Amino acid sequence: MPPPGPAGYTPPRRSSTGLILGLFSASLALVVVVVTLVLVTSSPATRISDLDAVHEVIEERYERHPFLGVGGFEGKHTIYVGLSLSYVSGVGELRQVSEDLVGTVWEHVPGSYEQVVTALLSWSEDSLFVEQWDTAALREQFGPRPSGLAVEEVDGRDPTLIRPGDCSAEQGYCNSLPEALLTENSRALTEYTCGLFEEGSAFPTEPFQIRNDKNPYGAKSSVTYLLSPLTDSRPDLLHVALLGKRDAFLEVTCVIDGVEENELFSRAEYEKALELVE
């Protein structure tokens, strides 16, 4: 069986689409999303691979698979943590979970990141809970960051057609895109799937999660782009799962304004993508 999704949602057997749909689909609004940005100027910017340092800590504490990401949003380098919890309800409990997750990131994730925004939605609550933390509040609440936060080691490998590059050893968080997502074919299939981009607009260049999936039943790798503000109750997103098989090479999922579009493409369709969309 494929591994459960990062927000506790089990993806379909044929792909890892559930990794994202468990977080953002309107029909699956049973999710806790925590976005963490902290100003730390004394070290290099946090990379996606550095999320390895906190993944297992959160998973063990909450017995749920977190959804983690890093990216630039509104000019600020952001760490994104998503977690689905069935037993959290009420503003008081939501605030406690928010504070705990922010503190966990503060204590474990190396590198520099800016400001804190927490957006929480529990199984029993149908509204979004949002908090913002600035640097002064973080230091006042948690004190100085622990010394000796080491940058997460990576394998140093270059990306291949379907495998991302420069990945962490334990959880497979990666810093560079698979080659298949840097082509006009990928853009064409994305446009074909959801009509996301107007003519002449740029394909997203900064994903907030790149993963190398080691499970043979899931994607070889997956990439997620967030396309709307972090605090939106229905975030717009683009998720691409590279399955690498002849008949199931690439899967594109878009969720725009709460509407989901999904297409699965063969290797032949990927190779002829520019003809397909004409």
User: What is the pLDDT, as a whole number, of residue 121?
Assistant: 73
Q: Using a cut of 0.85, tell me whether the model's pTM lies above it.
A: no
Check whether 266 has a pLDDT greater than 90. Answer: yes
Which of these ranges, 58-67, 116-125, 256-265, has the smallest mean pLDDT? 116-125
Give the model's confidence band at 177: pLDDT under 50 very low, under 70 low, under 90 confident, else very high: very high
Three-class DSSP labels, 161-176 = CCCCEEEECCCCEEEE
Check whether 14 has a pLDDT greater than 50. Answer: no
User: What is the pLDDT, as a whole number, of residue 216?
Assistant: 62
User: What is the pLDDT, as a whole number, of residue 201?
Assistant: 60
User: What is the pLDDT, as a whole number, of residue 219?
Assistant: 72
Mean local confidence (pLDDT), 239-260: 91
User: What is the pLDDT, as a whole number, of residue 68?
Assistant: 87
Mean local confidence (pLDDT), 40-56: 84
User: What is the pLDDT, as a whole number, of residue 43?
Assistant: 76
Mean local confidence (pLDDT), 176-187: 92
Question: Could you tell me the sign of the dihedral formed by the alpha carbons of 49, 50, 52, 55, in that order?
Answer: negative
Which of these ranges, 2-16, 57-71, 83-97, 103-117, has the smallest mean pLDDT? 2-16
User: What is the pLDDT, as a whole number, of residue 67?
Assistant: 83
Which of these ranges, 27-31, 45-49, 85-89, has the smallest mean pLDDT? 27-31
User: What is the pLDDT, as a whole number, of residue 27?
Assistant: 29
Check whether 264 has a pLDDT greater than 90. Answer: yes
Highest mean pLDDT: which range of 213-222, 235-244, 245-254:
245-254
Whole-number percent of the chain with pLDDT over 70: 78
User: What is the pLDDT, as a whole number, of residue 39?
Assistant: 44
Which residues lie across from 80 on neighbouring strands? 35, 69
Tokens representing 185?
């074919």
DSSP string, the chain: -PPPPTTSPPPPTT-STHHHHHHH-GGG---EEEEE-----SSPBPPGGGGHHHHHHHHHHHTS--EEEEEEETTEEEEEEEE--SS--HHHHHHHHHHHHHHHHHHH--SB---EEEEE--TT--S-EEEEE-HHHHHHHH-SPPTT-PPPPB--PPP-SSS-EEEBTTT-BEEE--GGGGSHHHHHHHHHHH--S-TTPPPP---SEEEE---TTS-SEEEEEE-S-TT-SS--EEEEEE---SSS-EEEEEEETTEEEEEEE-HHHHHTHHHHT-
Higher pLDDT, 38 or 180: 180
Check whether 38 has a pLDDT greater than 60. Answer: no
Check whether 239 has a pLDDT greater than 70. Answer: yes
> Could you tell me if 49 and 173 are in contact, meaning their C-beta atoms sit under 8 angstroms apart?
yes
Check whether 106 has a pLDDT greater than 70. Answer: yes
